[in-house]
Chains A and B, each alone.
Chain A
Amino acid sequence: MARSLSFFVLLLFVLHVSSESTGEVAEQLEGEEFTEELLLRPLPDRKVLSHFHFESKVPPTNSYGHHHRIFPKAIYQLVHKYRIKEMELSFTQGRWNYDSWGGFDPIASSNAKPPGVELWAVFDVPPDQVDASWKNLTHTLSGLFCASINFLESSTAYCAPDWSFSSRSGNLRYGSLPREAVCTENLTPWLKLLPCRDKAGLSLLMDRPSIYNGFYHSQRLHLTSDEFDPVALHGIVLEQTLTIVLQPDALDTRASFSSSRKLQPSWSMSSLFGKMVDGKCALAKSSNVYVQIEGSLVHNMKDTWNNIEGYDGEIAQEVPYEGFGSNSNFKFSIAPDRVMKETNSFHKDGYSVLYGFAINHYHGSKPFDLGFWWNLPVTWSCVKAPLRVSRFLMGSGNEKGAIALSLQSTEWSQSILKAGKNEEKCNLRVDVFQVVPWYIKVYYHTTKIFVDGMPQALEDIIEKMSVSPSEDKVSPGVMELILRLPCDMKSASLTLEFDKGFLHIDEYPPDANQGFDIPSAIISYPDFQTRLQYKEDNASIQSPMVSKMQERRTVLSYTEVLLVPLTTPDFSMPYNVITITCTVFALYFGSLLNALRRRVNEEERLLKSKDKRTGKLQLLLSKFLSKVRGKPWEPPSSTPPSSSSKFISSKVILKILLVAAIAFGWRYYDG
């Protein structure tokens, strides 16, 4: 034991010495790594997807030490302080259009995020400390990214998914803020985590006005660490992505095609972002730009080619490969350094192609500005998710309502049906994960499922259902479902009824009448794995983004955020309500006690005393009246009441003085 320990210490020492002694460049190569990549993809609805991918890596601390040159210190400290195993934070504005931008590819599954802020984290702490770590983490991130992530601290805002969200349950916490506005103050701290910030490399393209003019904008930070595993291999991997969907301004194309309106807009990096790349970030290990052409586009281009030119299929298949000539549908301004072809396509008729551009040899005087010109019009559609999902509210009024989740089959699921017809019973597995805030009081027993408009028994469709109902002002309601839908269905819908809660006056946000947001539900299809396997022509170049695409991931999509209007009390009324209610209570108490207190002969005595009093009063009154009548020209003098009031007041004053004197004496003797 002691021997092994000494050996270990020796090993550490040697490692330390070696890391000290070796040169700077070598250290950088062996230890920390930073890569920057940009993926551009033309979208069917005349837009362009640009996806920045930055990855920083640091080796485990026990082999590398605490000092870093590239890796952001803030993240390193965050990981160590809260013992984070995995974390993902995303800031999103806009909604990913699953129909026209794709729902099946890796980017749609991992980078299409719900609007606002979404955060989930897995901690490597005992289960009872997870909540405390989460709370501290939200505060730290809120400070780090200038966002109100600290609202996720309250137990009503986050939840602990049981099994559906991720396989690593238990220490996972999930929370989202649908209404968080995302803007440049969130992007700047995010850019600060990059070694070159936005001063050099691909991040130079991030011109704020053009980014925030886009249709969709999602900035994401994903971090994994195995620092706390017994055998740490990878250290911390920080992956920062920025996904933007931009509408390119139509460039002046040299295409002489007659119907230029049908032509997709051509674009270049300078037209998209208004900036060009001066060269790579000096600290980056690799710096690449990719242009992805989707499989169905390749397929359709082949078709158009055939139609127009009447070429053979075999030759046409060659076209996209070296399609920079005058014959192709499109062309680049710069010749790509490499071309990668998808090997295992889900689409039998098309395979996507990835063109790679290295920007190592560009510099300030020779900036990199990739242009993409369309020569021929072509239409295509993206690979959609197995089902088209939408969620909406039903009912009117502010008392109750229902959430409906509608799942409609797409061409894609119908093609599966054709493929799986030989099996006896084809099922499509759909996982639903939905978090509902506590003021939406869901009646889970009212769950109803309709397939093609016909109500179905729950047992036939729901394979597994776990619910943790919401608790007022404590926790949100979480619903996790596994649905087994028949493949041949056209549409399915799931409805849940709810009552709207009534909040305390302080719990309403400043704009209470705007309504409250229900966070997006997550729909995933575990039967389908999104994976784009590219056959690289040059195996030596390893791209983290391409390897990320090759990972097996479950296809998932987010639904819409729902806006629920809640009734409001009158915010200006608290004092009135308190006083009026207390008056009613006083009325009750006083009158009932009075009724009980009255004695048998009391009324008579009361009447007698009243008579006496009224007699006196009447006497005074009659005196006064006679005086007034007797001398009507005189102004009605108030002498008798005033004299009486004087008389009374002198008595009262005497009494008050007496009491004051007693009190004074008491004080004097006591004090």
Chain B
Amino acid sequence: MEKSTAKKHPWFWFWSSAVASIALRLVLIIYFPNTLNFSSRPEVSTPITSLRRLAEGYWLKRSSMSPYAGSMYHGSPLLLSILGPLTIDRSEGQSHLLCGLAFVIADFITAILIRAIGQRLQVANIQSLKSLGAGRLSKISENFPSGDIASLVYLWNPLTIITCLGYSTSPIENLMIVLSLYGACTRLVPLAAFGWVIASHLSLYPVILVIPLVLLIGSGLDTPPRKLFLQQTHGEDYKKTTNGSLHLINFSWRPVVLFFLWASAWAFYVLVLCAISLKEYSGLGEMFKRTYGFILSVEDLSPNIGVLWYFFAEVFDFFRDFFLIVFHINILFMVLPLAIRLHHRPCFLAFVYIAISSILKSYPSVGDSALYLGLLGLFVNALADMQFSFFLFSGYLGTLLLSPVMHNLWIWRGTGNANFYFATAMAYACFQIILVVESVSSMLNHDRALKQGATAVAKKEEHEKILKNLENPRSGVTWEEYKSMRFTFQVSQMPLLVLTMNDLM
């Protein structure tokens, strides 16, 4: 019943909830500016994204000192000149109201872009499934507008709302990441390059997104594995129906080269702007040392929801460099295997990269989790048979509720100790890891199932052809009829059944 009403007004349904989420943010920002003191939560604002530190950096810059003097500010000088003036009107009682508005807008744009990505993904998905001949499957996936779901998950996610209210700059980082993905999905090469350059400038980790971006630009949106298409070419009528989709498979180098040209142009432009804004104080070397150097050499040991702070507070100085290298390389190690296995699904690959870097980054915050949880919504159809989803949901909820409690016990009451808080951070990391591993394996399973389903469909079509020769041609074949038919390959029914059931669920 609900589904039918949603189908009637999908447009209205989406926009009303999106506007409601924005209104909720605005109400919280305007009417409860100081009661919800999220900006001091270690889960929300890290040394890199904290707006308070940005205000300090801006103050230093205004009093003609380098914004990087002292170890307060570690963000980009461009962010300083954009957001800095907005932090000034604090003395008039409106605490960072303008900044809050900027973050709300950033959140909204991110959600819209995620929706657009989702719509494109869905269109591509249907197309590729059709080309595989599994029209039935594509019909089922139409029921879930994954773009709407993803963007609403992003907008209504409590983590996103907390991040937006907590005055941390991660909404802007998230916006840039999503912008680059959107640019790559729509093959707007300059936009993709811009998003990628700015995102990597703001926080180092989006650099690894270059692989999914190149794959997106080069070979298009997510498709089932290429092998399936190659298999399909054995079918005789394939060439007739899916001539066009053959082009999709080919990797086109020209936009990729363009992407790199644009990226270098943007990078040059950004560096020039940074150099201009830092001209009087210190050069770009100082900037790299204070931003990327600060990220890589985990200098700030204040607690956050990651695991590195306590590790480096406790580890012996002698081993510090070794473990720094090991932990950072852990991110890079996984880049290549993932790219090999998931190269046909660049958007999903981007999601996995974002999730991994938000687990293993030096100063993680819930803003990073908010982004990858939003992107997870894009693959709601493919990941329908993911295991442990309820367990993960309760795990996320539990750790996020326990974390402030433990922090309070340790820092404010002094009755707990650091291990309490570290344990929640550890549990959070474990849940994130399970989420990533499960989503990757269920995506691989989905591809496998598609393959088996596709082969079954191919067989079925063969049989249909035979049947057509015998009986009167029919427009469509219903499930009952399909079931009642006798095929030589009854084996292929099972995976298809499982798949369809799962998709229906």
Question: Is A502's CB within 8 Å of the partner chain B?
Answer: yes
Q: For the complex, is B504 an interface residue (Cβ under 8 Å from A)?
A: no
What 0/1 pattern do residues 588 to 609 of A give for CB contact below 8 A with B?
Answer: 1101110110101000000000
Tell me the residues in window 51-81 of chain B with beta carbons closer than 8 Å to chain A beta carbons.
52, 55-56, 58-60, 63, 65, 69-72
Which of A399, A471, A503, A568 lies in contact with B71, CB distance below 8 A? A471
Chain A residues with Cβ below 8 Å from B71 are: 438, 441, 469-472
A477 to B326, CA, bound (A): 34
- Expressed in whole angstroms, the minimum distance between the Cβ of A156 and any Cβ of chain B is 12
Q: A444-B59, A569-B314, A585-B330 are in contact. Are A596 and B309 (CB under 8 A)?
A: no
Q: Which of A506, A567, A581, A596 contacts B307 (CB 8 A)?
A: A581
Among the listed A469, A473, A502, A504, which residue makes an inter-chain contact with B302, where contact means beta carbons less than 8 Å apart? A502
Which residues of the partner chain A approach B70 to less than 8 Å between Cβ atoms? 468-471, 477
Nearest A residue (CB) for B434? A591
Chain A residue at minimum C-beta to C-beta distance from B309: A502
**What residues of A have a CB within 8 angstroms of the CB of B414 in the complex?**
398
Residues of A close to B451: CB separation below 8 A: 600
Q: CB distance A444 to B419 under 8 Å?
A: no
For the residues of B in contact with A, the DSSP-based class is helix
Q: Is the CB of A596 within 8 A of B412?
A: no
**In the complex where A445-B55, A570-B417 touch, is A501 in contact with B440 (Cβ < 8 A)?**
no
In Å, the complex CA distance between A441 and B52 comes to 12
- The residue from B299, B359, B441 contacting A588, defined by CB atoms under 8 A apart: B359
Question: Nearest chain A CB to B425's CB is how many angstroms away?
Answer: 10
Closest chain B residue to A457 by CB distance?
B91
**25 A-B residue pairings within 8 Å (CB atoms):** A396-B412, A397-B412, A398-B412, A399-B40, A399-B412, A441-B72, A443-B56, A443-B72, A445-B55, A468-B70, A502-B302, A503-B301, A504-B313, A504-B317, A569-B314, A569-B418, A574-B314, A577-B314, A584-B433, A585-B326, A591-B433, A595-B440, A596-B337, A596-B444, A598-B444
Query: Does A465 have its Cβ within 8 Å of any Cβ on chain B?
Result: yes
Chain A positions within 8 Å of B309 at CB level: 502
**A504-B312, A584-B430 known; A467-B65 Cβ under 8 A:** yes
Write out the residue numbers on chain B whose beta carbons fall within 8 Å of the beta carbon of A598: 441, 444
Cβ 8 A contact of A587, one of B65, B314, B433, B441: B433
Q: What total count of A-B pairs have CB within 8 Å? A: 140
- A597: shortest Cβ distance to chain B, in Å? 8
Q: Which residues of B contact A503 (CB under 8 A)?
A: 301, 313
Asked if A397 and B411 sit within 8 Å, CB to CB, the answer is yes
Q: Which residues of B contact A441 (CB under 8 A)?
A: 71-72
Within 8 A of A (CB), among B417-462: 417-419, 422, 426, 429-430, 433-434, 436-437, 440-441, 444, 448, 451
Q: State whether the Cβ of A2 lies closer than 8 Å to any Cβ in chain B.
A: no
Cβ 8 A contact of A589, one of B302, B333, B411: B333
Asked if A231 is at the interface (CB within 8 A of a chain B CB), the reply is no
Assembly CA distance A651 to B500 (angstroms): 50
Pick the contact of B426 from A567, A573, A580 — CB < 8 Å? A580
- Given known A577-B310, A587-B433, contact A472–B338 (CB-CB < 8 A): no
Q: A399-B40, A589-B334 in contact; A573/B314 too (CB < 8 A)?
A: yes
Chain A residues whose CB sits within 8 angstroms of the CB of B52 once the complex forms:
443
CA distance A178 to B52 in the complex (A): 30
- A400: Cβ under 8 A from any B Cβ: yes
- Chain B residues lying within 8 Å of A574, measured Cβ to Cβ, are 314-316
Of B311, B411, B419, B434, which is within 8 A of A581 by CB? B311
Q: With A578-B315, A589-B334, A598-B441 known to touch, is A467 a contact of B411 (CB < 8 Å)?
A: no
Is B377 part of the contact surface with A, judged by Cβ < 8 Å? no
A residues in contact with B429, CB < 8 Å: 584, 588
> Which residues of B have CB within 8 Å of A472?
71, 299-300
- Is the CB–CB distance between B411 and A592 below 8 Å? no
With A465-B63, A467-B63 as given contacts, are A578 and B311 in contact (CB-CB < 8 Å)? yes
CB <8 Å contact, B316 and A570: no
CB-defined interface of B337-374 with A at 8 Å, one 1/0 digit per residue?
11001000000000000000001100000000000000
Is residue B327 within 8 Å, beta carbon to beta carbon, of the partner chain?
A: yes
Q: What string of 1s and 0s marks CB contacts (under 8 Å) between A441-458 and chain B? A: 101110000000000000
Contact with B along A489-516 (1 / 0, CB 8 A): 0000000000101111110000000000
Q: How far is the CA of A473 from the CA of B300 in the complex (A)?
A: 10
Q: Mark A408-447, 1 if CB is under 8 A from B, else 0.
A: 0000000000000000000000000000001001011100
Are B59's CB and A445's CB within 8 A? yes
Q: Which of A445, A584, A588 lies at the interface centre, i.e. has the most chain B CB atoms within 10 A of its CB? A: A445
Collect the chain A residues with CB atoms within 8 Å of residue B327's CB.
585
Q: List B285-302 residues whose CB lies under 8 Å from chain A.
A: 299-302
Closest Cβ of chain B: how far from A246's Cβ, in Å? Answer: 40
Cα–Cα, bound, A465→B59 (Å): 12
Q: Tell me the complex Cα distance, A648–B338, Å.
A: 38
B171 shortest CB reach to chain A, Å: 22
Q: A578 vs B307: C-alpha distance in the bound complex, in angstroms?
A: 10
> CA separation between A470 and B72, bound complex, in Å?
9
Given known A445-B59, A581-B307, A589-B333, contact A567–B40 (CB-CB < 8 A): no
B313 touches A399 (CB 8 A): no
Query: Given contacts A398-B414, A587-B433, are A577 and B448 in contact (CB under 8 A)?
Result: no
Q: Is the CB of B56 within 8 A of A445?
A: yes
Docked complex Cα distance between A399 and B42 (Å): 10
Q: Please give the distance in Å from A619's CB to the nearest CB on chain B.
A: 30
Residues of A within 8 A of B72 (CB): 441, 443, 469
Residues of B within 8 A of A468 (CB): 69-70
Please, which residue of chain B has its CB at the minimum distance from the CB of A590?
B437
Min CB distance, A294 to chain B, in Å? 44
Chain B neighbourhood of A587, CB < 8 A: 430, 433
- A558 CA to B430 CA in the complex, in Å? 52
Point out the residues of chain B lying under 8 angstroms from A467, CB to CB. 60, 63, 65
Q: Report Cα–Cα, A438/B223, bound state, in Å.
A: 54
Please give, as numbers and ranges, the residues of chain A lying within 8 Å of B411 by CB-CB distance. Answer: 397-399, 567
Q: What B residues does A469 contact at CB under 8 A? A: 60, 65, 69-72
Contact yes or no, A568 B56, CB < 8 A: no
Partner of A591, one of B59, B312, B317, B437: B437
Cα A283 to Cα B335 with chains together (Å): 82
Q: Mark A540-566, 1 if CB is under 8 A from B, else 0.
A: 000000000000000000000000000
**Residues B69 and A592 in contact, CB atoms below 8 Å apart:** no
